[in-house]
Amino acid sequence: MTDALPPRLAALLDSPTGRIALAARHLDSGRTWRHGADRRVPSASLIKLPILAAFWETVEAGRLDPRERVRVPAEARVDGTGVLQALAPDLQPTWSDLATLMIAVSDNVATNLIVDRLGMEAIQRWIDTAGLSHTRIERRMMDRAAMSAGRQNWTSAGDMETLLSAIATGACVSREASALMMRALEAQQIQDRLPRRLPDGVRVANKTGNVTDVTHDVGIVSWPGGALAIAVLAHEVRPPWQAMDAIAEIAAVLTELCRAGAPGPR
């Protein structure tokens, strides 16, 4: 059963521009909060989370050795986030290194190498099998031709919360794979949204996403004795800093609510 939104949270979700979607679950009590959670929006870099899960499923099936080294050629460079595009070509990180870079610094070069290795059809099969009904991968990162042709990657707040809850409880692919995915999320370097207003002693393992008109952050917020899976997706909220402020405040409100175990802030 979904909990009613406390007024303070409802006000934050009622953006004067665009729309903000929320799906959150207090993993200890099972309490949930949802607002526009099934609305499909451009995923931006959130698509890298199901790619990560499909990667570790492929490893566990014995079809990929995570320790194998991969040459990163100059022609693999693309624009956007990450560090590989700025480094000398022909580096040879492992597949596991690339998976970590894909999440921790949202590296687009690393992501495309993994997508090419797995294949988009295999990634979509994992997404469908996992029941992420609003999530689709239709193009590689920064594929201008695909973007011009109208192909997009999609997800929803509800799908992201489902995936995060599975990771947090050890149910995504396997317990070992879930732990490896959590480790990558804990290495996240972009900390300007969900974590920004959280108190000392609260940890966040998260993944951001942003392109034009899209500002997202999803993650697992934890503290001694509790955890919250939370996905906040903002679409067409302008200016972008207002979306970032709202995401930070929403995370603070829900964390306070879960830690207090009370009916909610007013």
Q: Tokens at residue 17, please?
A: 């521009």
- Starting from the edge strand earliest in sequence, which strands make up the sheet with 203-211, in order? 32-35, 19-26, 226-235, 214-223, 203-211
Give residue 264's pLDDT.
40
For residue range 187-233, list pLDDT tens digits in order. Answer: 999 999 999 999 999 999 999 999 999 999 999 999 999 999 999 99
Pick the CATH number of 7-260 from 3.90.1150.10, 3.30.70.100, 3.40.710.10, 3.30.1600.10: 3.40.710.10
Tell me the pLDDT band of 261, cut-offs 50, 70 and 90: confident
Residue partners of 235: CB distance under 8 A and separation at least 6: 18, 19, 20, 21, 41, 42, 213, 214
Rounded to whole angstroms, what are the CA distances from 149 to 15, 97, 145, 152? 31, 32, 6, 9
CB 188 within 8 A of CB 104: yes
Q: How are beta strands 226-235 and 154-155 bridged, if at all?
A: unpaired
pLDDT reading at 38 higher than 50: yes
For residue range 154-163, list pLDDT tens digits in order. Answer: 999 999 999 9
Alpha carbons 237 and 245: distance in angstroms, whole number: 11
For residue range 53-83, list pLDDT tens digits in order. Answer: 999 999 999 999 999 999 999 999 999 999 9
Cα dihedral 187, 192, 194, 199 in deg (nearest 10):
90
pLDDT reading at 1 higher than 80: no
- What ranges do the domains of the chain cover? 7-260
Question: In the chain, what percentage of residues exceed pLDDT 70?
Answer: 98
pTM summary value: 0.96
Give residue 263's pLDDT.
42
For residue range 78-126, list pLDDT tens digits in order. Answer: 999 999 999 999 999 999 999 999 999 999 999 999 999 999 999 999 9
